[in-house]
Structure 1
Amino acid sequence: MTMLFLMIGLPGAGKTTRARQLAEEHGALILTPDEWMIPLFGEPEADGKRDVLEGRLLRLGLEALRLGTNVVLDFGCWSRDERSAIRCLVESAGADCRLVYLPVDHETQRARIAHRQSATPDQTFPMSEADLAHWRTLFEEPDAAELGGHEIGGPPPGWSGWLEWAADRWPSLT
């Protein structure tokens, strides 16, 4: 059965490095929005374009799974809802999903980001101390049950299913 490896973590956690290792080990297609955003738009967010790009990459990843290719999805997936929606979509594609969480302490995160910005400034974007602190407040750390692949709960109130939620989150998915 094909597998989608879903990378989870904050900037500087080592997600892309681990994603490349997983892609090599499992002959997987790696989909990393950061590698597209700067060349296409010159910035990491670009007025909602990241959501559109992620939707297209997710759609491509689901098609690859259906065709028998493993996929590494290097989105970060800060929210439990994002992770649940992706797990549900992967299951509907007839594949398995493995969550790969890379926690990072604040000091290590700062050091890695500083190194990245000095070594490859054309491949990254500025991140302030305030950004890092704010992002930590938004990040929903996965618990053991979620990481263990236990049952996916229902979508948030007001949504009939995860596909509908995902199509709203990533407008270009459907």
Structure 2
Amino acid sequence: MAAIHLIVGFMGFGKTTLAKKLEKELPAVRFTHDEFMRSLYGRNLPEPEFRSAAQKVDDLIWNLAAQVVAAGVDVVLDYGFWSKEDRRQAYEKASRLTGDIVFHQLNCNENTARKRVLERSRTDENELFIDENCFNLLLQNYEPITADEHYNVISHRQSEI
């Protein structure tokens, strides 16, 4: 049975690095939400348009993931799944596709993550643009997985990947 691997962590925690590692090691097909957003909408989509665009990308990725899992191939979803509710919804969607669902929780120092994100925004034209104010605002929405969520979770330290 094909598995769905869901990568949990905030910006700069190393989610895409881990997702690429899993993609090779499992092997699996990786879907990175930010890559789709950049390819389709550019790196600095205004807030009023962002939510609608993100939902369209989300729908597209889940449709593609369903096809890949149906073909018997593992999938890695590199999203972030920042909140308990995001994870609940993702688990519900994934459970319609397979019984093998694994969350990968990434842990990283907040200051290290901030430095990485700000550096990427300054130097990499292919990255979504995030300034320090945006980083700090979004960080308030991040909730690591807690034991009461009762998922199959593998914890990773950023230094281990």
* TM-score above 0.5, yes or no: yes
Residues 123-132 or 15-24, more deviating: 123-132
What do residues 135-160 of structure 1 show as CA deviations (whole Å, max 9, x unaligned)? 1211122112436439xxxxxxxxxx
Mapped pair 1:144 → 2:144: no
Q: Distance in 1 between matches of 2:87 and 2:136?
A: 22
Q: Distance in 2 between matches of 1:123 and 1:138?
A: 24
Runs of at least 5 residues in structure 1 that lack an aligned partner in the other structure: 151-174
Work out whether residues 28 and 72 of structure 1, in 8 Å CA contact, stay in contact via their aligned partners in 2: yes
Higher relative contact order (CA 8 A, sep 6+): 2
Work out whether residues 34 and 44 of structure 1, in 8 Å CA contact, stay in contact via their aligned partners in 2: no
Q: 1:123 to 1:71 in 2, by over 3 A?
A: same
Mapped pair 1:76 → 2:70: no
Shift of 1:32: 0.6
Work out whether residues 65 and 95 of structure 1, in 8 Å CA contact, stay in contact via their aligned partners in 2: no
Work out whether residues 31 and 73 of structure 1, in 8 Å CA contact, stay in contact via their aligned partners in 2: yes
Tell me what 1:52 maps to: 56
The percent identity for this pair of structures is 26
SS of the equivalent of 2:125 reads helix
Shift of 1:45: 4.9
Shift of 1:118: 4.5
SS of the equivalent of 1:31 reads strand
Shift of 1:43: 3.0
What do residues 87-126 of structure 1 show as CA deviations (whole Å, max 9, x unaligned)? 122222233111011122221012212342355x222122
Tell me what 1:111 maps to: 115
Tell me what 1:8 maps to: 8
Mapped pair 1:67 → 2:71: yes
SS of the equivalent of 1:108 reads helix
1:145-164 aligned within 5 A: 145-146=148-149, 148-149=151-152
Work out whether residues 13 and 113 of structure 2, in 8 Å CA contact, stay in contact via their aligned partners in 1: yes
Q: Distance in 1 between matches of 2:122 and 2:41?
A: 21
Q: Distance in 2 between matches of 1:94 and 1:37?
A: 26
Q: Distance in 2 between matches of 1:66 and 1:56?
A: 16
TM-score (norm 1): 0.77
CA RMSD of aligned residues (A): 2.0
Q: What is the aligned residue count?
A: 149
Q: 1:44 to 1:126 in 2, by over 3 A?
A: closer
Runs of at least 5 residues in structure 2 that lack an aligned partner in the other structure: 154-161
Tell me what 2:132 maps to: 129
